[in-house]
Amino acid sequence: MSPSRSPPKNPVLKTREPTVPPGLRSRAALRLTAAACEGRLELQRCRACSAFQYPPREACTQCLSTRLEWTECDGVGELISETILHHSNEPYFRERVPLRVGLVRLDVGVTIVAHVDGACAPAPARIRLAAHLDKSGQAALVAHPPEGPTDMTTSQTHRDMTCDPRGRKILVTDGKSETGEALVKAFIAAGADKVWAGVAEPWKDATAIDKLAQLEGVTTVPLDVTDARSVEALSGLIGGKVDILVNNAEFHRHKPVGARGVETARAEMDVNYLGLLRLIESFGPALKFRAADGPNGACAWVNILSVYALSALPSQATFTASKAAAFAASQALRADMMGVGIRVMNVFPGPIDDAWNQTVPPPKLAPSALAAAVVASLKAGVEDVYPGDVAQDILARWRESAKVLERELADQ
């Protein structure tokens, strides 16, 4: 047994209730969560008097101005006092006491009650505050040592905020593609207990499949996301064991709108959108059922989408339409999974350096860079990932003005 593997479940012990922390937040406080979804700490800052404030409010507590701006913050400050909680009225925390919590004073002037990372020195000590997503998908503030988060897996509450692949069983829905192979290798390198690599049309690419099957910890399994029976059959076999599902199955052609025939569009929809729906139908209930199953229970669902799901790329109209459809479905899946604490992580890459983008000029994202971003984001427990320069650039332009970006993409 590898050291990262969790011990077999003791059937005599009580299974933890699938509870999540309280999830209700005000509209203002949801901005804290929105930043945490991408791994950033943002606090309100008054544009009139420059004061930072916490908790989020509708007006500045210093000068009553309503001109508040969410501003990224480095979280550097001091743990001024701390305590250990041994009791909580919240069912979620009741199962997780004792909890280390403390009072933190940030250098920007605000004082905040936060979770305290086990690696922090006892108060008074310098710390760095970070915003993570808790099990209910809301921002939770954790004080880390000054160098930032080290190992989030030492306490169950903090581990719940991440989806570290270490010790977990992972299904990659298309192991044969270049991104699939990179993902499988990255998960094994990150200490995954087991990786199932889905293989559609097993009579094709026998060498690639053999190479996959020879990797230690990897099992190839038949999976065709366009066939409901195939998805159902695999779910019946391994659905109750998958901790992280990574859907990278993709059909990708470059077809502009107005080109004759809908066959390409239909095939893209069948894999990229309907394929996701078939996976949700078969694997969703099993994952939700295992959300509280021991320290390594089911924890995440990852969708490899495209940054052009945000704004269509006319030269690849049908492909980007299918990714936009999948994005909408993934948001509904996230709303559904939030109640049990399964994180739905959406990845929005720009053009990937694979067989289907040979005619696309650089910069392109290497499959290995995509895989590294997925692993790092699972470890950080974030929800939305925009890996690579193109994705970051499109995201920034989309945030600034979706309408201007639409016009700019029309010329590409």
* Listed residue (312, 329, 317) closest to 225, CA to CA: 329
What is the phi-psi region of residue 75: left when phi exceeds 0, alpha when psi lies from -120 to 50, beta otherwise? left
Nearest residue (CB) to Zn ion, 49 versus 410: 49
Q: How far is the CB of 53 from Zn ion (least distance, A)?
A: 8
Closest approach, Cβ 306 to Zn ion, in A, equals 41
The CB-of-66 to Zn ion minimum distance in angstroms stands at: 9
Nearer to Zn ion, 62 or 153 (CB): 62
Residue closer to Zn ion, measured from CB, 71 or 357:
71
Q: How far is the CB of 68 from Zn ion (least distance, A)?
A: 8
CB of 105 to Zn ion, least distance (A): 19
> Could you give the angle at the alpha carbon of 231 between the alpha carbons of 324 and 2, nearest 5°?
100
Distance from C-alpha of 103 to C-alpha of 120, rounded to nearest angstrom? 13
Q: Would you list the DSSP string of 119-176? A: TSPSSSEEEEEEEEE-TTSSEEEEEE-TT----TTSSHHHHTT----TT-EEEES--S
Going by DSSP bridges, is the β-strand pair 139-144/111-116 parallel, antiparallel, or unpaired? parallel
Q: Which is nearer to Zn ion, 2 or 66 (CB)?
A: 66
- Per DSSP bridges, beta strands 244-247 and 300-304 are parallel
Q: Do residues 245 and 302 lie in contact, with contact meaning Cβ atoms separated by under 8 Å?
A: yes
CB of 44 to Zn ion, least distance (A): 10
- Smallest gap from Cβ 71 to Zn ion, in A, equals 13
CB closer to Zn ion out of 63 and 85? 63
Orientation of helix 367-380 relative to helix 178-189, angle to 10°: 40
User: How many angstroms separate the CA atoms of 345 and 381, rounded?
Assistant: 9
Q: Which is nearer to Zn ion, 61 or 331 (CB)?
A: 61
Query: Site residues (CB under 5 A) for Zn ion?
Result: 46, 48-49, 60, 62-63, 65
- Amino acid (1-letter code) at residue 92: Y
Q: How far apart, in whole angstroms, are the C-alpha atoms of residue 141 and residue 112?
A: 9
- The total number of residues shown for the chain amounts to 412
Q: How many CB atoms lie within 10 A of CB 364?
A: 19
Decide whether 79 or 106 has the Cβ nearer to Zn ion. 106
